[in-house]
Structure 1
């Protein structure tokens, strides 16, 4: 009897050992290699702080054949990002750079014959001063990789994580700090707090003029002294300040006759507002025109305008085929991110339904 129980116990141990071995073999890890240079050539920092406010520190996993591959940092996000930054930037200067990590998530969408790996990243940088934290730069992005392009989804997604944070840090070095101050206690809710301070959402009447960048537009500060000019067809072409003349394409946005417009690669389009914020109605071909696009710049003016009857008339005057093509394509609402000025593209943007 004793022999039976001993043998049974040994068999259980062997079983659990084999099960654990198989489980460990089926799970592999792709380490995020932070290898790109993040050297700051303009500003020296006395300190680099990383705040990881993710509730779940695990990033996620994808499959490689029958193996589950977890994507993870070598140590943890705080240590790895600090080691990476300090390897390229010696400690000196007066400024303190802060990286706030809000989300790093990997998932996999399995199709019948392939898979799509999805990466979501949301993180921001701040300049810490005596009066608090000043927003510098932000990444709120989604990237996908198809197994039809590369079977190594985990490796590709890990590289995208490294590249995304490299772009975030490099963009921070050249960014102008926001004047609005955030306290350390408010960092968890900084997005809502900053949006609530923006004048563009509060103003009943918008200030006429041109806005050089997203920050001046959302804080409602047009360029001083500039007057908007149009051509003989009523199309806005440039802004003039005395002897200084600048094409309208050099600005982020402008307000003309009380109507706000967003400058886009093929011209400009009206900006609308609802309870969620600001948005434009646009087609993929207008935000991301191909080199052989029918829309073109003509004589400093804009050929591919959208959002009004005047715009379509302008297109017809230059290229009737372009106007007909545009009319046949439905526009899509694309939001404007007030903290970056970037487009917030809806899922499946530009794809036919």
Structure 2
């Protein structure tokens, strides 16, 4: 009788424990064939990813084998031709959890992974994905499947961005990879400089390394608003740059125009509302697309200094930090809910 009871109990446990395997089948081909070898360094203390519920069953999200083997097999499947660079992926965090409400659940994903090019002098940082994502059972009952798909998409984007990104000139010794963030931040001149270099900065890397575009000067309109960067006969709208420094003050370009960049012990940040970063409607002939990852989409019809206009109308924006490793925005909790 005891054996029968144990068998029934074991069957129930097996029935209640299901798995969702991460499908690494999307193409991650490097069209430049620049990578000679690919290595995964899994720094996670816990190799378990996590689980969510489907009806009354626990669904565990897993790799088919393990993170290192599956990511390597995936890479080599789409990149059989070898190049010259040794690409290293450092997996720092991959966790799935569930916030259960009375009538629904929210599945949550945390993923942080970085890529480096390994050279004789050390590891050169390339790109990072540091992502939080959430899925509600109100939208789909298949939380595990949806979250597993998001993992695939995030890794896919990490690979593709890494193929295009220029490796940092700073190096990290192999023994210090676990705290590369601190080491690299200490080398970023924009975080330490007392005086800022005037000019336009084409991307986040040039901004944080304090390297404005050579030969370009800033041009203002009759209201003192910076509108262009000029180099001889070449003229570029200021919206085409990540940031600029004018009269000793740094500004970040955003869909509405630009806004002042501030600095404290935690890094650099802007003070903006959700409407200023993500305009939903076109005004004054402006066609504005999505502002994703700190980059501007669409065409700006008029440039304004949001810092000044916000003070005039009493609008108080939230502190949104700029990630020195991606250029993306780091939003505070509940960003935009009261704006």
Match of 2:324 among 338, 343, 347: 338
Contact 2:284–2:301 (Cα < 8 Å) also in 1: no
TM-score, normalised to structure 2's length? Answer: 0.92
Offset at 1:236?
0.6
Structure 1 residue 283: deviation in Å? 1.0
Between Structure 1 and Structure 2, the one with more helix by share is 1
String of CA shifts for 1:309-342, please: whole Å, max 9, x gaps: 5x777xxxxxxxxxx6xx4x54111110011111
Structure 1, unaligned runs of 5 or more: 1-10, 314-323
| Matched ranges for 1:195-234 at <5 A | 195-234=185-224
Q: How many residue pairs are counted as aligned between the two chains?
A: 329
Matched with 2:336 is 350
Q: What does residue 141 of structure 1 align with?
A: 131
CA shift at 1:288, angstroms? 1.5
Matches within 5 A, 1:82-93: 82-93=72-83
Q: Secondary structure at the match of 2:65?
A: coil
Which of these two proteins has the greater Rg computed from alpha carbons?
A: 1
Match of 2:225 among 222, 230, 235: 235
Shift of 1:21: 1.4
Mapped partners of 1:104, 1:16: distance in 2: 35
Instruction: Tell me, in whole angstroms, the C-alpha distance in 2 between the residues paired with 1:76 and 1:294.
Output: 53
Equivalent in 44, 54, 57 of residue 67 of structure 1: 57
- In structure 2, stretches of 5+ residues that fail to align are 289-298
- The alpha carbon displacement at 1:282 in A equals 0.7
Judge which range, 287-296 or 260-269, deviates more: 287-296
- SS of the residue aligned with 1:347? coil
Verify the 8 A CA contact 1:61 1:106 in the aligned structure 2: yes
Q: Alpha carbon RMSD of aligned pairs, Å?
A: 2.0
Q: What secondary structure, in the 3-state scheme, does the structure 1 residue paired with 2:307 have? A: coil
Match of 1:45 in 2: 35
From 148, 157, 168, the equivalent of 1:158 is 148
Dislocated runs of 4+, deviation >6 Å: 297-301
- Normalized against structure 1, the TM-score is what? 0.89
CA distance in 1, matches of 2:303, 2:119: 46
**Which residue of structure 2 lines up, in the alignment, with residue 305 of structure 1?**
305
Counterpart among 94, 108, 113 of residue 98 in structure 2: 108
**Equivalence map 1:6-21=2 (5 Å):** 11-21=1-11
Structure 2 counterpart of 1:170: 160
Contact 1:295-1:303 within 8 A present in 2 as well: no
CA deviations 1:67-94 (Å, max 9, x no partner) are 0101010110001101110000015222
Question: C-alpha displacement at 1:302, in angstroms?
Answer: 3.3
The answer as to whether partners of 2:108 and 2:133 remain within 8 angstroms in 1 is: yes
How much has 1:113 moved relative to structure 2?
Answer: 1.7
CA distance in 2, matches of 1:134, 1:255: 27
CA deviations over 1:131-181 (Å, ceiling 9, x no partner): 111111110011111111111000000000000000000000000000001
Partner of 2:279: 289
After TM superposition, give the deviation of residue 297 of structure 1 in Å.
7.3
| Distance (whole Å) between structure 2 residues aligned to residue 297 and residue 288 of structure 1 | 12
Of 247, 251, 255, the residue aligned with 1:257 is 247
Deviation at 1:225, TM superposition (A): 1.2
Query: By how many angstroms is 1:51 displaced?
Result: 0.7
